[in-house]
Structure 1
Amino acid sequence: MPKKILKAYKIRLYPNAEQQVFFAKSFGCARFIWNKMLGDKMEHYKTTKTTLHNTPAQYKQEFEWLKEVDSLALANVQQNLRAAYSTFFKQGTGFPKFKKKGIKDSYTTNNQKGTVAITQNTVKLPKIGHINARFPDKINGLIKSATISRTPTGKYYVSLLVETITTPLPKTHSTIGIDLGLTDFIALSDGCRVANPKFLAKLQDKLAREQKILAKRRAVAKADQRRLSESRNYQKQKLKVAKVYEKITNARKDFLHKLSFTLIKNHDVIAIEDLNVKGMVKNRKLAKAISDSSWSSFTTMLSYKAEWYGKTLVKIDRWYPSSKTCSNCNHLLTKAELPLSVRTWNCPVCLQKNDRDINASINILHQGLILVKQSKTVGATGLA
């Protein structure tokens, strides 16, 4: 049955010189309001031990240039800052930080009675009008908001959040368990493996060379007592480094999107480990390899695509001993009996030869099916 979803479409923009100036002002104003409101909140709390409920409107009289940009962009900054504070106090995540110029430059505006719209080759935005654009996909649905951003390589994008209709994919009556890894990106319970592309590792040497040149040009600029923003050679090299990072990011995203959709399309139930990636990257020996694998992004893609297309994604407790349990007889080995270096092992009880990763994926699938069955039982009991 078709269902309503919110889907984001990323579109490349080609603004002219005047439009680029407007974007620069909007990025700057959004960054200024975030930093000003955050700073005032912190100072107010130090003095009074109470929360300051400030808004962008109260700053417009003192800083009249804030009126030159879209007011909804500033209102969304207030909402984002409020959400960041709420997340910090409720979940204990990092305290909101001040924003720096050139790092994740962006602003968000809302569609109010057609202020955000699209034509065959343009995107219309408030206070700026139509901007030339290239659409990779056909967009159908009601546009809710638009987030405009500029990459470190100087490219402009708009991400349109659209309320649209999606149709569930046909049922395959297939289930699969996934074990995430570093040598192989994933091992599946049907015995298949997907190699880890290691995008960062492949371009590591080139990246290191470009970063070394960048460091030298930074040193030359400082020796000549020139600002980095005024050093043309430094800025040219900075762009080269950004392009290498962009190539890595784009290749990784393309791989993850294609793989996640293939799994969602071909299986009705997908079981995967709920790994503590944030804790795992604290291991200095494995941090770079884990970050390059982007397990969190992959899991997130599986999650929302499963919801879109009527499939089930179940996450297994991170403490479940999937690697150390025999998938045939459920015999559990100790950590000493199965160190990380051992990739295959024979079960001392049933004598089955187990591949560490495939065995883990089979156990993850078994545990996932149990959880799915339990949730259906609870749901049926609730209905009764």
Structure 2
Amino acid sequence: MKARYQYRLYPTDQQRQLLAQLFGCVRVVWNDALAICKQSEKLPSNNDLQKLVITQAKKTIEREWLSEVSNIPLQQSVADLGVAYKNFFDSLKGKRKGKKVGRPKFKKKTNQQSARFRIGGFSIKGDEVYLAKIGNIKPIWSRILPSSPTSVTVIKDCANRYFLSFVVEVEPVNIDANNQSIGIDLGVKTFAVMSNREKAISPNYSKLDRKIRKLQKKLARQPKDSKRINKIGNKIAKLHNQIADTRKDFLHKLSTKIVSENQTIVLEDLNVSGLVKNRKLARAISLQGWRDFRTLCEGKSEKFNRDFHVISRWQPTSQICSECGYKWGKLDLKVRSVQCLNCATEHDRDENAAKNINKVGMGHCHDSKRTQRRSETASVASVNEASRITSPSGR
């Protein structure tokens, strides 16, 4: 399986100029190729696009500076545009799973910049990495590469930070699991509640988020041609990166711990796009990174030879007693603790949902209809009084 290893890079002033020139050329080639695709009735092939926007463009006065950078990242930019169009058409035809993919867009100078080198355009010599027509650069080797990389991408984010991202082949890791399975219920106040009663509290992003909103209001009042726009925008980008790095560190550590200790990991398929339509919870939900956590668990399950399951979002995991299977119905979000009137077991709402997620994922959930019929016959609880709320505290 393939994995990505990313390292921080601190280029010299001369290397910054060369990288800025490379990023500009890659961006121009992408935009020129995209403009040709939009004007054409039939989508041109990659070879035809490369001849138009690279080979023939170098012979013109307007684009003769394309020959000053390596040809490999320019060709890769056209190839990436072809992949973007393929994903767009597959999404329209329903061949691609997940959310609908939009048309490729023009690249901007103010967004994140990147350039990818294939084999032949880079090489690793000791502690340094040679990039064609850039020279030797020395990243911060925080860990050793497990194998020879097949490609490397130079990245410059919106906060003017540089990274080298390598794609390598890794072998699965065989580690014995301590537990058979675990169900995970994701939330806002408590990020994850596990079926073994463990809880994971996410970092508090509210302080940084308030600073971002304050700077965004200040940014909106600046004139478009002022120098303060770039200065304030750079501050906002640094705060966004600080939140993203904190969240990424938390999600990586939590997912590694869960996958390494359990043989089967079960999550619930959450409708995040629908949940963020709630204007009161949208910002808090967006900061959690539920989808990133699911992606990390899925990838690491493949690496550690674990079983990963995602149950349907329509499973009533918070409406069923995890002990006896009695279905008490929907509960308001502020209700955090309930007591089942069938077996008299008191449940924490999130722990009960996590246990039910684990049972559904393992394929042996209670027959709630049969249990409900038996309970109604025994006159334990009526249909309108399925459970007793014991702690209606806010979320």
Report the TM-score, using the length of structure 2 for normalisation. 0.83
Tell me, yes or no, if the aligned pair for 1:198 and 1:292 is still in contact at 8 Å. no
- For 1:142, what is the secondary structure of its paired residue? coil
Match of 1:203 in 2: 208
Match of 1:382 in 2: none
> How far, CA to CA, are the matches of 1:87 and 1:319 in structure 2?
28
- For 2:2, what is the secondary structure of its paired residue? strand
Deviations 1:155-181 (A, max 9, x none): 111101112334322232432110000
| Between 322-331 and 143-152, the greater mean CA deviation after superposition | 322-331
- For 1:174, what is the secondary structure of its paired residue? strand
Q: How far apart are 1:97 and its partner, in Å?
A: 1.7
Q: How far apart are 1:367 and its partner, in Å?
A: 1.1
Residue 185 of structure 2 is aligned to residue 190 of structure 1: no
Match of 1:288 in 2: 283
Alignment-mate amino acid for residue 348 of structure 2: D
Tell me, yes or no, if the aligned pair for 1:13 and 1:158 is still in contact at 8 Å. yes
> How far, CA to CA, are the matches of 1:124 and 1:281 in structure 2?
44
Residue 104 of structure 2 is aligned to residue 108 of structure 1: no
Structure 1 unpaired stretches of 5+: 372-384
Match of 2:266 in 1: 271
Alignment-mate amino acid for residue 157 of structure 1: F
- The percentage of aligned residue pairs carrying the same residue is 35
- For 2:247, what is the secondary structure of its paired residue? helix
- For 2:105, what is the secondary structure of its paired residue? coil
Tell me, yes or no, if the aligned pair for 1:142 and 1:164 is still in contact at 8 Å. no
Tell me, yes or no, if the aligned pair for 2:123 and 2:131 is still in contact at 8 Å. yes
Residue 87 of structure 2 is aligned to residue 87 of structure 1: yes
User: Measured at CA, do residues 362 and 195 of structure 1 come closer, stay the same or move farther in structure 2, by a change above 3 Å?
Assistant: same
- For 2:110, what is the secondary structure of its paired residue? coil
Tell me, yes or no, if the aligned pair for 2:171 and 2:303 is still in contact at 8 Å. no
User: Measured at CA, do residues 20 and 345 of structure 1 come closer, stay the same or move farther in structure 2, by a change above 3 Å?
Assistant: same
- For 2:14, what is the secondary structure of its paired residue? helix
- For 1:137, what is the secondary structure of its paired residue? coil
Tell me, yes or no, if the aligned pair for 1:184 and 1:195 is still in contact at 8 Å. yes
- For 1:259, what is the secondary structure of its paired residue? helix
Match of 1:138 in 2: 144
| Between 59-68 and 262-271, the greater mean CA deviation after superposition | 59-68
Residue 106 of structure 2 is aligned to residue 98 of structure 1: yes
Q: Out of 295, 298, 309, which is 1:314 matched to?
A: 309
> How far, CA to CA, are the matches of 1:247 and 1:79 in structure 2?
32
Report the TM-score, using the length of structure 1 for normalisation. 0.85
Matches within 5 A, 1:1-384: 5-45=1-41, 50-53=42-45, 54-60=48-54, 61-62=56-57, 63-92=63-92, 93=100, 94-112=102-120, 115-199=121-205, 201-216=206-221, 218-219=222-223, 222=224, 227-228=225-226, 231=227, 233-335=228-330, 338-370=331-363
Higher relative contact order (CA 8 A, sep 6+): 1
> How far, CA to CA, are the matches of 1:277 and 1:119 in structure 2?
45
Q: How far apart are 1:120 and its partner, in Å?
A: 4.2
Tell me, yes or no, if the aligned pair for 1:124 and 1:131 is still in contact at 8 Å. yes
User: Larger radius of gyration, structure 1 or 2?
Assistant: 2
The structure richer in helix per residue is: 1
> How far, CA to CA, are the matches of 1:332 and 1:268 in structure 2?
29
Tell me, yes or no, if the aligned pair for 1:70 and 1:109 is still in contact at 8 Å. no
Tell me, yes or no, if the aligned pair for 2:271 and 2:313 is still in contact at 8 Å. yes
Coordinate RMSD, CA, aligned: 1.9
Q: How far apart are 1:215 and its partner, in Å?
A: 3.6
> How far, CA to CA, are the matches of 1:75 and 1:282 in structure 2?
40
Alignment-mate amino acid for residue 151 of structure 1: D
Deviations 1:305-347 (A, max 9, x none): 1111111211111111111121122222333xx2222222222
Q: How far apart are 1:258 and its partner, in Å?
A: 0.7
- For 2:326, what is the secondary structure of its paired residue? coil
Tell me, yes or no, if the aligned pair for 1:117 and 1:143 is still in contact at 8 Å. no
